[in-house]
Protein backbone atom coordinates (compact mmCIF):
# COMPACT_ATOMS: atom_id res chain seq x y z
CA UNK A 1 0.00 0.00 0.00
CA UNK A 2 2.93 2.34 0.66
CA UNK A 3 4.10 1.80 -2.91
CA UNK A 4 0.62 2.74 -4.10
CA UNK A 5 0.66 5.95 -2.08
CA UNK A 6 4.07 6.85 -3.49
CA UNK A 7 2.83 6.25 -7.03
CA UNK A 8 -0.24 8.41 -6.48
CA UNK A 9 2.00 11.09 -4.98
CA UNK A 10 3.93 11.36 -8.24
CA UNK A 11 0.78 12.88 -9.74
CA UNK A 12 0.81 15.46 -6.98
CA UNK A 13 4.40 16.53 -7.59
CA UNK A 14 4.19 16.48 -11.37
CA UNK A 15 3.84 19.78 -13.23
CA UNK A 16 0.17 20.00 -14.11
CA UNK A 17 -1.68 22.90 -15.65
CA UNK A 18 -4.26 22.99 -12.88
CA UNK A 19 -6.89 25.66 -13.55
CA UNK A 20 -7.09 28.91 -11.63
CA UNK A 21 -10.60 29.59 -10.29
CA UNK A 22 -12.33 32.67 -11.67
CA UNK A 23 -12.89 35.05 -8.82
CA UNK A 24 -16.47 36.12 -8.25
CA UNK A 25 -18.01 33.72 -10.80
CA UNK A 26 -19.81 30.80 -9.16
CA UNK A 27 -21.08 29.13 -12.35
CA UNK A 28 -21.49 30.04 -15.99
CA UNK A 29 -25.00 30.05 -17.51
CA UNK A 30 -24.25 26.62 -18.96
CA UNK A 31 -23.10 25.47 -15.53
CA UNK A 32 -26.33 26.63 -13.88
CA UNK A 33 -28.27 24.83 -16.60
CA UNK A 34 -26.35 21.63 -15.80
CA UNK A 35 -27.07 22.03 -12.08
CA UNK A 36 -30.77 22.56 -12.82
CA UNK A 37 -30.79 19.46 -15.04
CA UNK A 38 -29.13 17.41 -12.28
CA UNK A 39 -31.63 18.75 -9.75
CA UNK A 40 -34.61 17.81 -11.91
CA UNK A 41 -33.13 14.38 -12.61
CA UNK A 42 -32.67 13.63 -8.93
CA UNK A 43 -35.95 15.06 -7.63
CA UNK A 44 -38.35 14.40 -10.53
CA UNK A 45 -37.11 12.09 -13.27
CA UNK A 46 -35.69 9.22 -11.20
CA UNK A 47 -38.65 9.10 -8.76
CA UNK A 48 -41.07 9.04 -11.69
CA UNK A 49 -39.19 6.28 -13.52
CA UNK A 50 -38.92 4.18 -10.37
CA UNK A 51 -42.21 4.75 -8.53
CA UNK A 52 -44.70 5.71 -11.26
CA UNK A 53 -43.61 3.92 -14.45
CA UNK A 54 -44.78 0.26 -14.33
CA UNK A 55 -42.16 -2.41 -13.70
CA UNK A 56 -42.75 -4.03 -17.07
CA UNK A 57 -42.13 -0.82 -19.00
CA UNK A 58 -38.96 -0.18 -21.00
CA UNK A 59 -38.57 3.14 -19.15
CA UNK A 60 -38.86 1.70 -15.66
CA UNK A 61 -35.80 2.25 -13.46
CA UNK A 62 -35.40 -0.72 -11.14
CA UNK A 63 -34.61 -0.58 -7.44
CA UNK A 64 -31.16 -2.05 -8.09
CA UNK A 65 -30.13 0.87 -10.28
CA UNK A 66 -31.62 3.41 -7.87
CA UNK A 67 -29.57 1.90 -5.05
CA UNK A 68 -26.47 1.77 -7.27
CA UNK A 69 -26.75 5.41 -8.32
CA UNK A 70 -27.41 6.44 -4.73
CA UNK A 71 -24.30 4.58 -3.58
CA UNK A 72 -22.17 6.17 -6.29
CA UNK A 73 -23.46 9.62 -5.37
CA UNK A 74 -22.16 8.99 -1.84
CA UNK A 75 -18.80 8.07 -3.34
CA UNK A 76 -18.94 11.22 -5.47
CA UNK A 77 -19.23 13.33 -2.31
CA UNK A 78 -16.01 11.70 -1.05
CA UNK A 79 -14.30 12.36 -4.39
CA UNK A 80 -15.40 16.01 -4.22
CA UNK A 81 -13.99 16.25 -0.70
CA UNK A 82 -10.73 14.75 -1.97
CA UNK A 83 -10.55 17.37 -4.71
CA UNK A 84 -10.76 20.19 -2.19
CA UNK A 85 -7.86 18.85 -0.15
CA UNK A 86 -5.75 17.35 -2.95
CA UNK A 87 -6.67 19.20 -6.13
CA UNK A 88 -6.87 22.69 -4.66
CA UNK A 89 -4.59 22.45 -1.63
CA UNK A 90 -2.03 19.90 -2.82
CA UNK A 91 -2.42 17.58 0.19
CA UNK A 92 -2.89 13.94 -0.76
CA UNK A 93 -4.86 12.13 1.92
CA UNK A 94 -5.08 8.36 2.02
CA UNK A 95 -7.28 8.38 5.11
CA UNK A 96 -10.59 9.70 3.84
CA UNK A 97 -12.04 6.20 3.97
CA UNK A 98 -11.79 6.45 7.76
CA UNK A 99 -13.92 9.60 7.89
CA UNK A 100 -16.43 8.00 5.52
CA UNK A 101 -16.67 4.92 7.76
CA UNK A 102 -16.98 6.95 10.98
CA UNK A 103 -19.99 8.78 9.57
CA UNK A 104 -21.40 5.44 8.48
CA UNK A 105 -20.92 3.88 11.91
CA UNK A 106 -22.63 6.84 13.61
CA UNK A 107 -25.65 6.32 11.37
CA UNK A 108 -25.39 2.54 11.76
CA UNK A 109 -25.57 2.75 15.55
CA UNK A 110 -28.87 4.60 15.31
CA UNK A 111 -30.23 2.13 12.76
CA UNK A 112 -29.25 -0.78 15.02
CA UNK A 113 -31.22 0.78 17.88
CA UNK A 114 -34.20 1.15 15.51
CA UNK A 115 -34.29 -2.65 15.12
CA UNK A 116 -35.59 -2.88 18.70
CA UNK A 117 -36.70 -6.39 19.60
CA UNK A 118 -37.11 -7.50 15.98
CA UNK A 119 -33.68 -9.11 15.92
CA UNK A 120 -32.97 -12.82 15.93
CA UNK A 121 -32.69 -12.96 19.75
CA UNK A 122 -35.70 -10.67 20.42
CA UNK A 123 -33.59 -8.52 22.70
CA UNK A 124 -33.31 -4.74 23.05
CA UNK A 125 -29.58 -5.27 22.43
CA UNK A 126 -28.25 -5.81 18.88
CA UNK A 127 -27.79 -9.47 17.99
CA UNK A 128 -24.00 -9.29 18.06
CA UNK A 129 -24.06 -8.00 21.66
CA UNK A 130 -26.42 -10.81 22.72
CA UNK A 131 -24.13 -13.34 21.00
CA UNK A 132 -21.16 -11.95 22.95
CA UNK A 133 -23.19 -12.19 26.18
CA UNK A 134 -23.26 -8.44 26.81
CA UNK A 135 -25.81 -7.30 29.40
CA UNK A 136 -26.09 -3.64 28.47
CA UNK A 137 -24.95 -1.07 25.95
CA UNK A 138 -21.38 0.29 26.29
CA UNK A 139 -20.95 3.97 27.21
CA UNK A 140 -20.43 5.18 23.65
CA UNK A 141 -23.88 3.89 22.71
CA UNK A 142 -25.56 6.19 25.26
CA UNK A 143 -27.02 8.57 22.66
CA UNK A 144 -27.49 6.03 19.88
CA UNK A 145 -31.29 6.00 20.21
CA UNK A 146 -31.48 9.71 19.35
CA UNK A 147 -31.52 10.55 15.65
CA UNK A 148 -30.49 14.16 16.26
CA UNK A 149 -27.60 13.18 18.53
CA UNK A 150 -26.28 10.62 16.05
CA UNK A 151 -26.53 13.09 13.16
CA UNK A 152 -24.46 15.52 15.22
CA UNK A 153 -21.91 12.75 15.76
CA UNK A 154 -21.84 12.14 11.99
CA UNK A 155 -20.37 15.63 11.71
CA UNK A 156 -18.50 15.93 15.01
CA UNK A 157 -16.59 12.64 15.15
CA UNK A 158 -14.88 12.91 11.73
CA UNK A 159 -14.51 16.67 12.17
CA UNK A 160 -12.88 16.54 15.61
CA UNK A 161 -10.60 13.65 14.65
CA UNK A 162 -9.52 15.45 11.48
CA UNK A 163 -8.98 18.72 13.36
CA UNK A 164 -6.80 17.15 16.06
CA UNK A 165 -4.82 15.02 13.62
CA UNK A 166 -4.43 17.86 11.14
CA UNK A 167 -3.37 20.37 13.79
CA UNK A 168 -0.40 18.30 14.90
CA UNK A 169 0.48 17.12 11.39
CA UNK A 170 0.35 20.55 9.76
CA UNK A 171 2.01 22.27 12.71
CA UNK A 172 4.88 19.79 12.35
CA UNK A 173 4.97 20.67 8.63
CA UNK A 174 4.49 17.08 7.56
CA UNK A 175 3.68 17.09 3.88
CA UNK A 176 3.99 15.17 0.64
CA UNK A 177 4.24 11.41 0.64
CA UNK A 178 4.97 11.39 4.38
CA UNK A 179 1.57 12.90 5.13
CA UNK A 180 -0.07 10.37 2.79
CA UNK A 181 1.60 7.45 4.56
CA UNK A 182 0.65 8.76 8.02
CA UNK A 183 -3.01 9.11 7.03
CA UNK A 184 -2.88 5.61 5.61
CA UNK A 185 -1.41 4.29 8.85
CA UNK A 186 -4.09 6.09 10.91
CA UNK A 187 -6.82 4.49 8.80
CA UNK A 188 -5.28 1.04 9.10
CA UNK A 189 -4.97 1.38 12.89
CA UNK A 190 -8.63 2.38 13.16
CA UNK A 191 -9.65 -0.59 11.02
CA UNK A 192 -7.82 -2.97 13.36
CA UNK A 193 -9.54 -1.34 16.33
CA UNK A 194 -13.01 -1.70 14.84
CA UNK A 195 -12.35 -5.34 13.97
CA UNK A 196 -12.14 -6.14 17.70
CA UNK A 197 -15.40 -7.42 19.22
CA UNK A 198 -14.85 -5.71 22.57
CA UNK A 199 -15.05 -2.24 21.01
CA UNK A 200 -18.81 -2.67 20.56
CA UNK A 201 -18.97 -2.02 16.81
CA UNK A 202 -19.91 -5.46 15.57
CA UNK A 203 -16.38 -6.69 14.91
CA UNK A 204 -15.71 -8.17 11.48
CA UNK A 205 -19.39 -8.17 10.47
CA UNK A 206 -20.12 -4.59 11.49
CA UNK A 207 -23.75 -3.46 11.42
CA UNK A 208 -26.44 -4.83 9.09
CA UNK A 209 -30.03 -6.09 8.94
CA UNK A 210 -31.50 -2.61 9.41
CA UNK A 211 -35.28 -2.42 9.77
CA UNK A 212 -36.36 1.20 10.20
CA UNK A 213 -35.23 4.80 10.12
CA UNK A 214 -37.24 7.34 12.13
CA UNK A 215 -39.65 4.44 12.79
CA UNK A 216 -40.34 4.18 9.04
CA UNK A 217 -39.61 0.84 7.31
CA UNK A 218 -36.33 1.31 5.51
CA UNK A 219 -37.04 -1.27 2.81
CA UNK A 220 -40.20 0.32 1.42
CA UNK A 221 -39.73 2.04 -1.98
CA UNK A 222 -40.77 5.51 -0.81
CA UNK A 223 -38.18 5.50 2.01
CA UNK A 224 -35.40 4.43 -0.34
CA UNK A 225 -36.42 7.12 -2.81
CA UNK A 226 -36.34 9.79 -0.10
CA UNK A 227 -32.80 8.67 0.79
CA UNK A 228 -31.85 8.78 -2.90
CA UNK A 229 -33.23 12.29 -3.38
CA UNK A 230 -31.59 13.50 -0.16
CA UNK A 231 -28.23 12.12 -1.31
CA UNK A 232 -28.54 13.86 -4.67
CA UNK A 233 -29.46 17.17 -3.02
CA UNK A 234 -26.52 16.90 -0.62
CA UNK A 235 -24.14 16.18 -3.51
CA UNK A 236 -25.42 19.18 -5.48
CA UNK A 237 -25.27 21.35 -2.36
CA UNK A 238 -21.69 20.32 -1.58
CA UNK A 239 -20.71 20.98 -5.19
CA UNK A 240 -22.09 24.52 -5.06
CA UNK A 241 -20.42 25.08 -1.70
CA UNK A 242 -17.12 23.85 -3.09
CA UNK A 243 -17.47 26.15 -6.10
CA UNK A 244 -18.08 29.08 -3.79
CA UNK A 245 -15.02 28.19 -1.70
CA UNK A 246 -12.57 27.78 -4.57
CA UNK A 247 -13.78 30.97 -6.26
CA UNK A 248 -13.36 33.02 -3.08
CA UNK A 249 -10.27 34.60 -1.60
CA UNK A 250 -10.01 31.60 0.71
CA UNK A 251 -9.86 29.29 -2.30
CA UNK A 252 -7.19 31.36 -4.01
CA UNK A 253 -5.03 31.14 -0.88
CA UNK A 254 -5.51 27.37 -0.91
CA UNK A 255 -4.30 27.26 -4.50
CA UNK A 256 -1.31 29.42 -3.59
CA UNK A 257 -0.47 26.99 -0.77
CA UNK A 258 -0.66 24.15 -3.27
CA UNK A 259 1.70 25.84 -5.71
CA UNK A 260 4.17 27.61 -3.37
CA UNK A 261 3.51 27.30 0.36
CA UNK A 262 6.73 29.03 1.41
CA UNK A 263 5.81 32.13 -0.62
CA UNK A 264 2.40 32.20 1.02
CA UNK A 265 4.11 32.29 4.43
CA UNK A 266 6.38 35.14 3.33
CA UNK A 267 3.36 37.23 2.28
CA UNK A 268 1.90 37.06 5.79
CA UNK A 269 -0.64 34.24 5.52
CA UNK A 270 -0.70 31.32 7.95
CA UNK A 271 -0.96 28.10 5.91
CA UNK A 272 -1.78 26.10 9.04
CA UNK A 273 -5.17 27.74 9.52
CA UNK A 274 -6.15 27.40 5.86
CA UNK A 275 -5.01 23.78 5.54
CA UNK A 276 -6.64 22.81 8.82
CA UNK A 277 -9.96 24.41 7.84
CA UNK A 278 -10.22 22.73 4.44
CA UNK A 279 -8.92 19.42 5.82
CA UNK A 280 -11.60 19.38 8.54
CA UNK A 281 -14.35 20.37 6.09
CA UNK A 282 -13.24 17.63 3.72
CA UNK A 283 -13.45 15.06 6.53
CA UNK A 284 -16.94 16.22 7.52
CA UNK A 285 -18.11 15.88 3.91
CA UNK A 286 -16.92 12.26 3.90
CA UNK A 287 -18.68 11.62 7.20
CA UNK A 288 -21.97 12.90 5.77
CA UNK A 289 -21.43 10.70 2.69
CA UNK A 290 -20.94 7.67 4.95
CA UNK A 291 -24.14 8.43 6.87
CA UNK A 292 -26.11 8.58 3.60
CA UNK A 293 -24.42 5.44 2.30
CA UNK A 294 -25.30 3.07 5.15
CA UNK A 295 -29.14 3.09 5.01
CA UNK A 296 -29.06 2.72 1.21
CA UNK A 297 -26.53 -0.10 1.06
CA UNK A 298 -27.66 -1.78 4.27
CA UNK A 299 -24.29 -2.54 5.86
CA UNK A 300 -21.22 -0.92 7.38
CA UNK A 301 -18.12 -2.83 8.49
CA UNK A 302 -14.40 -2.15 9.06
CA UNK A 303 -13.66 -2.97 5.42
CA UNK A 304 -14.71 0.60 4.58
CA UNK A 305 -11.61 1.72 6.52
CA UNK A 306 -9.19 -0.35 4.49
CA UNK A 307 -6.24 1.39 2.87
CA UNK A 308 -7.52 0.25 -0.52
CA UNK A 309 -10.83 2.08 0.03
CA UNK A 310 -9.03 5.37 0.71
CA UNK A 311 -6.75 4.89 -2.30
CA UNK A 312 -9.82 4.37 -4.48
CA UNK A 313 -11.13 7.80 -3.45
CA UNK A 314 -7.90 9.34 -4.71
CA UNK A 315 -8.20 7.34 -7.93
CA UNK A 316 -11.72 8.71 -8.55
CA UNK A 317 -10.39 12.25 -8.24
CA UNK A 318 -7.39 11.51 -10.47
CA UNK A 319 -9.40 9.75 -13.17
CA UNK A 320 -12.02 12.50 -13.34
CA UNK A 321 -9.57 15.38 -13.17
CA UNK A 322 -8.17 17.24 -10.20
CA UNK A 323 -8.93 20.88 -9.40
CA UNK A 324 -12.11 20.84 -11.48
CA UNK A 325 -14.73 19.79 -8.86
CA UNK A 326 -16.91 18.22 -11.55
CA UNK A 327 -14.05 15.91 -12.55
CA UNK A 328 -13.97 13.84 -9.34
CA UNK A 329 -17.74 13.41 -9.54
CA UNK A 330 -17.38 12.17 -13.11
CA UNK A 331 -14.50 9.94 -12.01
CA UNK A 332 -16.55 8.40 -9.19
CA UNK A 333 -19.41 7.57 -11.56
CA UNK A 334 -17.08 6.28 -14.29
CA UNK A 335 -14.92 4.06 -12.09
CA UNK A 336 -17.75 2.66 -9.96
CA UNK A 337 -20.03 2.21 -12.95
CA UNK A 338 -17.26 0.26 -14.67
CA UNK A 339 -16.67 -1.67 -11.45
CA UNK A 340 -20.33 -2.67 -11.26
CA UNK A 341 -20.27 -3.90 -14.86
CA UNK A 342 -16.88 -5.62 -14.68
CA UNK A 343 -17.60 -7.43 -11.42
CA UNK A 344 -20.72 -8.92 -13.00
CA UNK A 345 -19.34 -9.80 -16.44
CA UNK A 346 -15.60 -10.28 -15.79
CA UNK A 347 -15.19 -10.42 -12.00
CA UNK A 348 -11.68 -11.86 -12.15
CA UNK A 349 -10.39 -8.99 -14.33
CA UNK A 350 -11.74 -6.02 -12.37
CA UNK A 351 -8.57 -5.29 -10.39
CA UNK A 352 -6.47 -5.54 -13.56
CA UNK A 353 -8.76 -3.02 -15.25
CA UNK A 354 -8.56 -0.64 -12.27
CA UNK A 355 -4.75 -0.86 -12.24
CA UNK A 356 -4.51 -0.31 -15.99
CA UNK A 357 -6.89 2.65 -15.76
CA UNK A 358 -4.83 4.26 -13.02
CA UNK A 359 -1.56 3.76 -14.93
CA UNK A 360 -3.10 5.17 -18.11
CA UNK A 361 -4.36 8.26 -16.31
CA UNK A 362 -1.01 8.77 -14.57
CA UNK A 363 0.97 8.53 -17.81
CA UNK A 364 -1.32 9.91 -20.48
CA UNK A 365 -4.17 11.87 -18.82
CA UNK A 366 -2.71 13.94 -15.97
CA UNK A 367 -5.77 16.22 -16.13
CA UNK A 368 -8.23 13.29 -16.15
CA UNK A 369 -11.34 12.71 -18.20
CA UNK A 370 -12.50 16.30 -17.85
CA UNK A 371 -9.15 17.53 -19.14
CA UNK A 372 -9.45 15.14 -22.08
CA UNK A 373 -12.94 16.44 -22.87
CA UNK A 374 -11.68 20.03 -22.74
CA UNK A 375 -8.85 19.14 -25.10
CA UNK A 376 -11.25 17.59 -27.63
CA UNK A 377 -13.49 20.65 -27.37
CA UNK A 378 -10.55 22.99 -27.93
CA UNK A 379 -9.33 20.98 -30.93
CA UNK A 380 -12.82 21.02 -32.43
CA UNK A 381 -12.99 24.80 -32.11
CA UNK A 382 -9.59 25.20 -33.76
CA UNK A 383 -10.68 22.97 -36.66
CA UNK A 384 -13.84 25.03 -37.20
CA UNK A 385 -11.79 28.22 -37.10
Burial of 323 from C-beta contacts in 10 A (0-12 / 13-18 / 19+): buried
Express each pLDDT in 66-107 by its tens digit.
Answer: 999 999 999 999 999 999 999 999 999 999 999 999 999 999
Q: What's residue 315's pLDDT? A: 92
Mean of the per-residue pLDDT values of the chain? 91
Average pLDDT over residues 163-167: 97
Q: What's residue 18's pLDDT? A: 54
220 pLDDT above the threshold of 50? yes
Q: Which residue has the higher pLDDT, 133 or 350?
A: 133
Among the listed residues 307, 8, 309, the one whose alpha carbon sits nearest the alpha carbon of residue 186: 307
Domain edges within the chain: 67-309
- 199 touches 105 (CB < 8 A): no
Among the listed residues 305, 291, 282, 297, the one whose alpha carbon sits nearest the alpha carbon of residue 150: 291
Q: What's residue 66's pLDDT? A: 96
Express each pLDDT in 260-288 by its tens digit.
Answer: 999 999 998 999 999 999 999 999 999 99
9 pLDDT above the threshold of 70? no
Give the whole-angstrom CA distance, residue 304 versus residue 105. Answer: 10
Max mean pLDDT range (4-8, 122-126, 226-230, 359-363): 226-230
Q: What's residue 113's pLDDT? A: 96
Q: What's residue 19's pLDDT? A: 53
Q: What's residue 22's pLDDT? A: 55
Give the whole-angstrom CA distance, residue 188 versus residue 327. Answer: 28
Express each pLDDT in 341-360 by its tens digit.
Answer: 888 888 888 888 888 887 88
Give the whole-angstrom CA distance, residue 32 versus residue 27. Answer: 6
Among the listed residues 298, 340, 330, 329, the one whose alpha carbon sits nearest the alpha carbon of residue 77: 329
Which residues make beta-bridge pairs with 207?
300
Q: What's residue 361's pLDDT? A: 82
Q: What's residue 383's pLDDT? A: 76
User: Taking the C-alpha atoms of 34, 38, 39 and 42 in order, what is their torsion angle to the nearest 10 degrees?
Assistant: 170
217 pLDDT above the threshold of 60? yes
Q: Which of 109-123, 206-220, 317-331, 366-380 has the lowest mean pLDDT?
A: 366-380
Among the listed residues 205, 200, 166, 187, the one whose alpha carbon sits nearest the alpha carbon of residue 306: 187
- Longest distance between any two alpha carbons in the chain, whole Å: 77
Average pLDDT over residues 323-347: 92
208 pLDDT above the threshold of 90? yes
Q: What's residue 23's pLDDT? A: 57
Amino acid sequence: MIHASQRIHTMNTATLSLPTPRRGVLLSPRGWAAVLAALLTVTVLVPLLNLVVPAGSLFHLGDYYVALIGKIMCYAICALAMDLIWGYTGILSLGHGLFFALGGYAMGMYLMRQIGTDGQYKSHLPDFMVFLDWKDFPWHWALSDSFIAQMLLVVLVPGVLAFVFGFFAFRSRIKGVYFSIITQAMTFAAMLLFFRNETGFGGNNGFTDFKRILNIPIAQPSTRMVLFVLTGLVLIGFFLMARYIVNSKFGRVLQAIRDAESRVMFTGYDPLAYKLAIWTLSAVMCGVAGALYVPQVGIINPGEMSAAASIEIAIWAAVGGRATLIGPIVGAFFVNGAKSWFTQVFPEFWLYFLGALFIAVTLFLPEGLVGLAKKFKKDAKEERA
